Amino acid sequence: MMSMPRATIGDIFNPRERGRWMGLIMGVFGVSTIIGPALGGFITDNWSWHWVFYINMPVALIALGLVIYALPSVRTDHHHHIDWWGSLTLAAFLVPVLLAVTWGGSTYAWGSWREIGLFAFSAAMLLLFLFNESRAEEPIIALEFFRNGTFSSTMIVTLMVSMSMFAVMLVLPIYVQGVLGMNAENSGYLLTPMMLSFIVTSIAGGQIITCTGKYKALVFIGGLVMVLGSLLLTRLTVSSHWSEVMVDMVVLGVGIGSLMPAMGVIVQNLFPYRVLGTVNATQQMGNSLGGAIASPILGTVLATSFAALLPKRLPLALQKMFALLTPAQRKAFSDPQGIISVPGQNAIHQQFKALGPQGEALFRSFIHAVRSALTASIRELFWVGLGFAVLALLGTFLIREVQLKQQEFYQEGGAEGR
């Protein structure tokens, strides 16, 4: 679904014109990213988190109707072969490794037979996938694409940008809820500054690419600004104001918005029309894979770091009480997601009230320790996000400037009926 709009743009416009429309596609993505978290926060606060999933069904039906009604078909003389084995082995590689990094260190120990088994099975499936792709008539990921240095560089940049962006989008709502004290709905709104700057820069960057036919300077500056925005986020503390968070997010959004549309234009310009769909799908997989990898790993790191730091930040009286808790109780008190939720805090508050007159003071001390431990844990993840941003910036140095074509020989793909 995410790769098809890019391929459609490639069907209609030549490489130089695509910059403008790639920017608009990224702008639409930015708008949905503003609406989604805010709507999700409102639904979670007022209805139930289950409705966060139910709300997607009518949206999907509307999208399906628009595709049936408005999307033109492009006829080709070439008969394509679907790489079923490639799809199967790719899924068999990705799903177990994502389960392993999600469960590792929390549900199961990293050295457990389950974790080792999942990683071993994924490794075997990866080898089988690569073997199949090297022999498939029309592979879903053409390995020869990676012989092109610029394509490989854009894949690295795309992966790192995605991982950095998801690192921020994963932990920032937790920070504004658990440290700044905002509710879930307002934490969704806090992503708006980043996405607004992302939208504006995506559209402006696409226009610049179309007008100049060049992209090297744009992606370098975008990578530099992204590093700056990621660095600013590492300075957040327990006492930071929400306005400081907003400024940091705007800077980060400018950097990401400069990079994302350009990556699609660059890879489409490198290869002939007949492989446009495969090129788009491969790059989109890198983008999606970044989020899929970053989310479980960073979530596990956050939970593990918070559980280790919280006991150390508690006052002496609470440390003694914490030591008397059962492992199950200690785990519940060490879950950042559960603690920052309104039901979670209300339940904990009631437990402290049961301690008598000193319960209220102990509860305030506990919440202060939670905020302190949460800030320290989140700052560690912001440093990880900064590392991804630096790798993305380094990747921009490897991207060659290739003049964007204004006319393209579409007949190479045999397309008709345009």
Is pLDDT of 230 > 80? yes
What does the pLDDT look like over 295-337, one tens digit per residue? 777 877 787 788 788 878 877 777 777 776 666 666 666 667 6
Is pLDDT of 418 > 60? no
Q: Domain of 67: which CATH number?
A: 1.20.1250.20
Q: How high is the pLDDT of residue 380?
A: 85
Q: Extract the tokens encoding 293.
A: 């990898």
Q: CA angle at residue 214 from 194 to 150, to 5 degrees?
A: 85
User: Strand pairing partners for 416?
Assistant: 75
Query: 399 in a domain, yes or no?
Result: yes
Is pLDDT of 209 > 80? no
Is pLDDT of 55 > 70? yes
Q: How high is the pLDDT of residue 228?
A: 93
Mean predicted confidence (pLDDT) in 23-52: 76
pLDDT above 90 coverage of the chain, percent: 6
Is pLDDT of 286 > 80? no
Range of 54's domain? 4-80+138-306+373-416
242 pLDDT band (50/70/90 cuts)?
confident
Query: 229 in a domain, yes or no?
Result: yes
Query: 316 in a domain, yes or no?
Result: no
Range with lowest mean pLDDT among 85-89, 150-154, 178-182, 225-229:
178-182
Is pLDDT of 68 > 60? yes
Is pLDDT of 75 > 50? yes
Q: Please give the C-alpha separations between residue 397 and each of 76, 111, 153, 229, in angstroms, as whole numbers.
A: 37, 38, 9, 19
Q: How high is the pLDDT of residue 417?
A: 32
Query: 191 in a domain, yes or no?
Result: yes
217 pLDDT band (50/70/90 cuts)?
confident
Q: How high is the pLDDT of residue 411?
A: 43
Is pLDDT of 412 > 70? no
Query: 219 in a domain, yes or no?
Result: yes
Q: How high is the pLDDT of residue 121?
A: 94
Q: How high is the pLDDT of residue 278?
A: 73
pLDDT above 70 coverage of the chain, percent: 82
Query: 187 in a domain, yes or no?
Result: yes
Q: What is the overall mean pLDDT for the chain?
A: 78
Buried b (16+ CB within 10 A) or exposed e, 299-334: bbbbbebbbebbbebbeeebeeebeeeeeeeeeebb
Distance CA 231, CA 39 (A): 29
Query: 325 in a domain, yes or no?
Result: no
User: Which span out of 93-97, 260-264, 410-414 was modeled with the highest average pLDDT?
Assistant: 93-97
Is pLDDT of 46 > 90? no
Distance CA 276, CA 62 (A): 27
- Give yes or no for a contact between 249 and 194, defined as CB atoms under 8 angstroms apart: yes
Query: 56 in a domain, yes or no?
Result: yes
Q: Extract the tokens encoding 85.
A: 């084995």
User: Which span out of 100-114, 149-163, 182-196, 322-336 was modeled with the highest average pLDDT?
Assistant: 149-163
The tally of domains found in the chain comes to: 1
416 pLDDT band (50/70/90 cuts)?
very low
Q: How far apart are the first and last CA of the chain?
A: 22
What does the pLDDT look like over 137-164, one tens digit per residue? 777 777 778 888 888 888 888 888 888 8
- Which is more confident, 54 or 203? 54
Q: How high is the pLDDT of residue 174?
A: 81
Neighbours of 273 (CB within 10 A): 20
Q: How high is the pLDDT of residue 330?
A: 66
